[in-house]
Amino acid sequence: MKLAGNDILIQSLVDEGVEYLFGYPGGAALHIYDAIFNQKELQHILVRHEQGATHAADGYARATGKPGVVLVTSGPGATNAITGIATAFMDSIPMVVLSGQVASHLIGTDAFQETDMIGISRPIVKHSFSIESAEEIPKVIKEAFYIATSGRPGPVVIDIPKDTTAPDKLFEYSPPESVKIRSYNPPVEPDSKQIGRAVSEILKAKKPVIYAGGGAINSNASKELFELNELLNFPVTNTLMGLGVYPAKNQRFMGMLGMHGTYQSNMAMHNADLIIAIGARFDDRITNTPDLFAPNAKIIHFDVDQSSVSKIIEANIAVFGQVKNSLIELNKQLKDKIDSIDSTLIQPWLDQIEEWTSLHGLNHELYKENSDEKKIMPQSVVQHVYQITDGNAFVTSDVGQHQMFAAQYYHFNEPRKWINSGGLGTMGFGLPAALGVKLAFPKEEVVCITGEGSIQMCIQELSTCSQYDLPIKIININNEALGMVKQWQDMSYGGRHSESTYQSSLPNFIELVESYGHIGFKIEKNSDLKGILDEAFSIKDKLVFVDVYVDPDEHVYPMLVAPNGSLKDMWIDKDKKV
């Protein structure tokens, strides 16, 4: 079959199983857009800004586990995509970004809308390709998808000079059947001897903690993790990226750890004698001061990426491989030694954790407050959303206080339901990500928990939701300030709120969303909270935006004491440090 470069590109994407292409047209990509017009197999979603395209593809990827695919033009189209690519890179999300480029003979001449996309994106991609001829497109696409989705996943950029997709030159379309890159061999199967060493440490542990992160979700290891803990009954904590990989409703789940983790999770990590890290990377929001981190713990670290192990915290036992495969082998070896598992060994430790939980655990019943004497607490908004959705919704978020409240108070029992920018911390992520999730799961409830600061960073995507009829729910936790910035200014800068408020410049969000054809509700009183949220969630065929005015002085606690603190050093209230 003979095809032109633009059709070869689209056919290669179809052959990879791509359903949705998130993008925005422009000069250098016009041949490709013409090929999109002539086919019906994949659907293009026209966003309103290229950053929205990358976040939408990212949300789709996090929810489905399949790579998100983006198409942008050269120059500003490419540079606008950068924030979204960096977001996916930091959280190891599979993504393929096709960027148009000026024609080959113009490269390096400062042509109109020319930018060095390969150079600009280099530090934030797993790999990148420049297309040199139409004939190599099928091979490059196949390699790009393989690299994006295998090993530790990540974004791959393919830069496509306009002439390589010209419609007037035909080439034989012969996609490669398989892919092998000799210089790229990510580990899959673990070393069973290392797992044997891990087993003997596990059997001796008196104060163990399982610490699981986003890598366990990427590896689809949720079932294996659950099976592991059916054998061990160890306390479990999840990172912000790992929420849902172990069911929150399980008795052994202690909640999130780290900067705004629960008291019991942070105390358990600090006092542990064994930490089993599963697809987690000991980042600075988790360790606090690395030298003071978990002073008595041995570390077993399961990861697919060798460079994540012993980067911050030295591992005593490292197990490289797909986390899923490693846990399958670990479970097998543990089952062979089932008689050696002494469940009484950890009982005092479980009792201790219970005590910590009752001492300073989070209050999950704030939503029962309905007196108008007090302002609405942001935490209780999240708790209401949790109650109304039965904990079954996909929840996307932006970045700041609302994100931490969502992570603390919405309990995730399944992986891939909690969609947030953990590593890069990208404001503006939530709405476009929700759009991508809703396309993938049109029948599921998709809620974007955001704030009035973050939502305005990609608010143009309300228009995209209108074009494709995407009835997501947006819960805008409105404290009329950049809450997390303000919290830090309260705590570390003598309450000087430098540039963290907007005077009276906020839009009327209700009129704004209505102008796009959506529905808006405003809530200002505790006594209205449940009723209006119930009404909002009863609407299934329209996007609903709920603008909730909350107590602007509320802070997120617990909060680690930094700098120079350990995991046991926390603010647990405005005036209480432990």
Binding stretches for another protein (CB under 8 A): 118-119, 122-123, 126-128, 130, 147, 181-184, 305-307, 310-311, 314
Quote the CA–CA distance of 566 and 301 in Å, as a whole number: 20
Start-end of H helices in 323-411: 323-336, 347-360, 378-388, 401-409
Q: HSE (CB half, 13 Å, CA atoms) of 139? A: 10
Residue type, 334: L
Question: Which CB, 40 or 180, lies closer to another protein?
Answer: 180
Start-end of H helices in 150-275: 192-204, 214-218, 222-232, 263-271
Start-end of H helices in 233-291: 263-271, 284-287
Nearest to 286 by CA among 302, 268, 304: 268
Least distance (Å) between residue 158 CB and another protein: 13
Catalytic residue among 112, 355, 374, 514: 112
Least distance (Å) between residue 157 CB and another protein: 11
Catalytic residue among 11, 16, 22, 50: 50
Quote the CA–CA distance of 269 and 566 in Å, as a whole number: 10
Establish whether 180 is a catalytic residue.
no
DSSP class of 103: -
Quote the CA–CA distance of 105 and 161 in Å, as a whole number: 9
Q: Which helix H or strand E contains 147, and what residues bound it? A: helix 137-149
559 contacts: CB under 8 Å, gap ≥ 6: 259, 260, 491, 570, 571
Least distance (Å) between residue 428 CB and another protein: 24
Question: Which CB, 154 or 451, lies closer to another protein?
Answer: 154
Question: Which CB, 7 or 114, lies closer to another protein?
Answer: 114
Question: Which CB, 23 or 94, lies closer to another protein?
Answer: 94
Catalytic residue among 39, 43, 113, 333: 113
Question: Which CB, 303 or 398, lies closer to another protein?
Answer: 303
Query: Other C-beta atoms within 10 Å of 174: how many?
Result: 11
Question: Which CB, 150 or 456, lies closer to another protein?
Answer: 150
Quote the CA–CA distance of 552 and 377 in Å, as a whole number: 9
Least distance (Å) between residue 2 CB and another protein: 28
Question: Which CB, 95 or 484, lies closer to another protein?
Answer: 95
Quote the CA–CA distance of 176 and 506 in Å, as a whole number: 54
Token pair of 296, please? 């008595």
211: β partners:
237, 277
Least distance (Å) between residue 399 CB and another protein: 23
Asked whether 572 and 360 are in contact (CB, 8 A), the reply is: yes
Residue type, 106: L
Least distance (Å) between residue 47 CB and another protein: 29
Establish whether 112 is a catalytic residue.
yes
Catalytic residue among 241, 269, 484, 570: 484
Rounded to the nearest angstrom, the gap between the alpha carbon of residue 568 and the centroid of all alpha carbons in its chain is 26
Catalytic residue among 11, 95, 126, 162: 162
Least distance (Å) between residue 311 CB and another protein: 6
238: β partners:
212, 256
Question: Which CB, 256 or 315, lies closer to another protein?
Answer: 315
Give residue for tokens 């600090």. 270
- Is the torsion defined by CA of 102, 76, 126, 146 positive or negative? negative
Least distance (Å) between residue 14 CB and another protein: 25
Rounded to the nearest angstrom, the gap between the alpha carbon of residue 73 and the centroid of all alpha carbons in its chain is 26
Question: Which CB, 185 or 363, lies closer to another protein?
Answer: 185
Least distance (Å) between residue 188 CB and another protein: 15
Q: Which residues of 378-393 are buried (b: 16+ CB within 10 A; e: fewer)?
A: bbbbbbbbbebbebeb
Question: Which CB, 39 or 310, lies closer to another protein?
Answer: 310
Quote the CA–CA distance of 541 and 96 in Å, as a whole number: 31
Question: Please, which contacts does 487-493 make with residues 24 or more away whose CB atoms are closer than 8 Å?
Answer: 487/401, 487/555, 487/556, 490/555, 491/555, 491/559, 491/571
Establish whether 162 is a catalytic residue.
yes
Percent composition of the chain: helix, strand, coil (DSSP 3-state, to 5)? 40, 20, 40
Catalytic residue IDs: 50, 112-113, 162, 484
